[in-house]
Amino acid sequence: MHTPSATPAPRPLILASTSRYRRELLERLRLPFAVQSPEVDETPLPGEAPAALAARLSLAKAHAVARLHPEAIVIGSDQVADLNGSPIGKPGSHERAVEQLRRMSGHSIIFQTGVAVVCEASGFAQQDLAPVRVRFRELSDTEIETYLRAEQPYDCAGSAKSEGLGISLLSAIESDDPTALIGLPLIRTSALLRAAGLDPLQALAHSLAGGVSP
């Protein structure tokens, strides 16, 4: 009598980022994963467009960690805010955040969020880009100061957290991948993981069958 072979366990998954926002987003897929800093230089190349920078860095981060863990499937991601073709990064300080929000007041910004999935052992390496167009209201200096003191978004590209009070600074968000603005486009991430051989629902079924919680 033929006994069906057991479904092989999925490859380990690693998020090549120490961002708590990306970690919290990836947890929504209910996949067990580790986190490792990719140690990648994020300096833009001369004349590099924001979309190209986000795409390059997301892939570089995934490759950097995949080289250390060749059997794993590694997710890399990067986000660059694009104001009229100029990249806007994380402010890092209150003063720079004030400057960024003054520049963006009344303007549309495109947040370019890149995601890449790499597995050295299988030779898989693919990436995608999820642009999100955000329109800021005309903001007064008092509104900017009040918001920054309340939320202190100094580790966020563009100096605003759309998932928090920062939503009050905006007049519109246009996106086909809603979590991209927070830092990890989960629709595209899920598609890349399936292409790499790690389907979140199949992995969950395997985990449940084995009696192990994801």
Q: Which residue numbers are catalytic?
A: 78
What are the CA-CA distances from residue 123 to residues 33, 63, 167 (Å)? 20, 11, 40
- The count of other CB atoms within 10 Å of the CB of residue 62 is 33
- Strand-pair category, 73-83 with 86-88: antiparallel
Q: CA-based Rg of the chain, rounded to a whole angstrom?
A: 19
Nearest to 75 by CA among 85, 91, 64, 87: 64
